[in-house]
Amino acid sequence: MKRILVTGGAGFVGSNLCKRLLEEKNNYVIALDNFFTGRRVNIEPLLESDRFEFVEHDIVNSIDIKVDEIYNLACPASPPHYQKSPTYTTKTCVLGVMNMLDLATKNDAKIMQFSTSEVYGDPKVHPQVEGYRGNVNPIGIRSCYDEGKRVGETLCFDYNREFGTKIKVIRIFNTYGPNMDPKDGRVVSNMIIQALRGDDITIYGDGSQTRSFCYVDDLVEGIIRMMSSRDDFLGPVNLGNPGEFTIKELSNIILEMIDTKSKVVNKPLPSDDPTQRKPDISLAGKELNGWKPTVELRQGLANTIEYFKGYVV
């Protein structure tokens, strides 16, 4: 039986990945999380499986465990969370990644590093292709995450070149769906919760900035395909939905889908907030057996709204 470690396993994407991995009967899944942003409620249904184990641990500290594959998701991923303690975020992106790479090397295990579209910064190339090196502010309020993830990628390729560590690197674009934290500060969760409560919907700036929203099931499918891709394809590879929407368009769609008294209010745009975000997924389609997202935004939002109704009294 394959022993698979999912760090950040109690988080939004991590818990959805664990669920999917358990659908394959030859997998034994070990979720690791320190609950800095992960939530126990996300993994409670999985604890019923005798092929699932939870370990409370912080990857900033080393761990010795027998594994065949590692999916390294452990890191605060929304601006309010990673800016809460930027030095801790950097430690997770550097020391934590090194610890997981050391573990993979020791076990001769394959490791997938979950990087982000934020490595492109506020891009001057649109849509973003993997060969674009980005436009990132190294000293801004988002730098702990943006630069931290860039260093994480560097470490992966250095370990591969120096120690022969088996790596895969993916760059995730905006993802949404069930198991999101209603308080995580991301645009989709923020707007849905505000609309369900009848509060004003917050738009930062004039709402003309764009994002591409990928439903979590589509992302997980891409993750699984990347891990099983040919050995010499290391990445990085973009995983996201190339459908591009302005934040204003997103707010209008959510207002149409939820019967609410909410109105849109505009607030100042945060520092270093990207103006455009859209993945070029040509490489993923070529290398990952034709992978592409299949869930349309309205369908995914309907599922997500239904999930969040349980959090609004």
As given in the structure block, the two tokens for residue 230 are: 């040919």
- How far apart CA 38 and CA 181 sit, in angstroms, is 8
Catalytic residue among 71, 82, 145, 215: 145
CA distance 149 to 173: 13
Q: Is 240 helix (H, G, I), strand (E, B) or coil?
A: coil
Name residue, tokens 């590093």: 113
Helix (H) or strand (E) holding 43: helix 40-43
| Residue 95 per-residue DSSP state | I
Which residues are CB-contacts of 57 (< 8 A; sequence separation ≥ 6)? Answer: 32, 33, 34, 63
From residue 143, how far is each of 42, 76, 86, 313 by CA, in Å? 28, 13, 8, 36
145 noted as active-site residue: yes
Residues 177, 20: Cα–Cα separation, whole Å: 14
HSE-CB for 269 with a 13 A CA cutoff: 11
CA 197 from chain center: how many Å?
26
The secondary structure of residue 138, as a DSSP letter, is T
Active site residues: 145
